[in-house]
Copies of this chain bind each other. A is one copy, B any other.
Amino acid sequence: MPEAPAARRRTTPGPRVVELAGGVGGAKLARGLQAHLGSRLTVVVNTGDDLERHGLVIWPDHDTVAYTLAGLDDAERGWGLAGETWSVIERLGVLGQDAWFRLGDRDIATHLIRTEHLRRGDRPTEVARRLAELLGVASTILPMTDDEVRTEVLTDDGWLDFQEYFVHRGQAPTVHEIRLRGIANARPTPEVLDAIGAAAVIVIAPSNPMVSVGPILALHGVREALRAARDRAVPVVAVSGIVGGRALKGPADRMLTSLGHEASALGVAGLYADLADAFVLDRIDANLEPAIAELGFRTLVTDTIMSDDDARARLAGDVLEFAGASRPTG
């Protein structure tokens, strides 16, 4: 793959922002943040949902973020590329392969490039950089780690790989426990720690706190890096992905309940109380604001539903302005 000349990379002057993100919610907010920040945005993505299917290495959260940042995402379906076709996966099914993980043909081109580079020995971080270049993404997207971490959930059917639970079983089983295989030996990359160290604002995305943001925070050294940022008076702003007691996407609400938390913005805030100093919740949940403030957060109540690019940019602008205003004066 030819390297794009460094001069072609757009750099936007000004302070840098880091977002810790999972899939759809994190991707939408990232798209909004990128509209304000251009190349000053770094998105650290969860890799616990990654998997291999049909010999292809697939990074679901990374690709949702990358496609959304590139403006190539299929807004209606909620995942994958717009204008997709399905010949390969249909043929794999005809050939007796277990084809429940639906891979689009255009999407497979991404997986082929990624898999080829990884098999050659390139670091995931380097592969993500090349994919962002090829897709024309202005921001930086960083896998949380170059090591293998795999999220597994304990259900009544036993321990399941995350995508087996999420896609194959349609999130139907109740989750009793989460474990992150490989987390003890995994390390955040130097790029992730450098980005957190250089950030003027850190945003925790409205992604699933347990299986999307959780794995990033569980990496050895990430919580310490976030605390060090707060000690440097860097605002850490969390955005609730639970609105009116419901996850906007995915099983976060049911997972909060089955794991002993409250399925509400307050429940989410409780999970971030020792890490974030500022919290953004939807107007629908305004009644929860006093309790969230009670946990020690500065709060912003605003519209958090990101139905189109305008709504994404507006919420991102609110979050950035609030972050500036909420900078702890120590």
- Name A residues whose Cβ lies closer than 8 Å to a Cβ of B: 1-2, 54-56, 84-85, 87-88, 91-92, 94-97, 105-106, 108-110, 112-113, 115-116, 119, 134-135
Q: How far is the CA of A288 from the CA of B5 in the complex (A)?
A: 62
- Among B1, B87, B88, B113, contact of A112 (Cβ-Cβ < 8 Å): B88
The distance from the CB of A37 to the nearest CB of chain B, in whole angstroms, is 25
List chain B residues, Cβ under 8 A from A108: 88, 91, 108
CA distance A87 to B55 in the complex (A): 19
- Within the complex, what minimum Cβ distance (angstroms) separates A111 from chain B? 9
A151 to B91: give the CA distance in the assembly, Å: 31
A109 B92 Cβ-Cβ under 8 A: yes
Is the pair B87, A113 in contact by a Cβ cutoff of 8 Å? no
Give Cα A112 to B96, complex, Å.
Answer: 13
Query: Dominant SS at the A interface?
Result: helix
Q: Decide: B92 and A113 in contact? CB cutoff 8 A.
A: yes
Q: Measured between alpha carbons, how far is A112 from B183 in the docked complex, in Å?
A: 30
Q: Report Cα–Cα, A226/B199, bound state, in Å.
A: 72
Q: Which residue of B lies closest to A134 (CB)?
A: B95
* B119/A55 in contact, CB under 8 A: yes
Partner among B2, B87, B95, B96 whose Cβ is within 8 Å of the Cβ of A105:
B87
A106, B87: Cβ atoms closer than 8 Å: yes
Q: Considering the complex, give the chain B residue whose CB is closest to the CB of A83.
A: B87
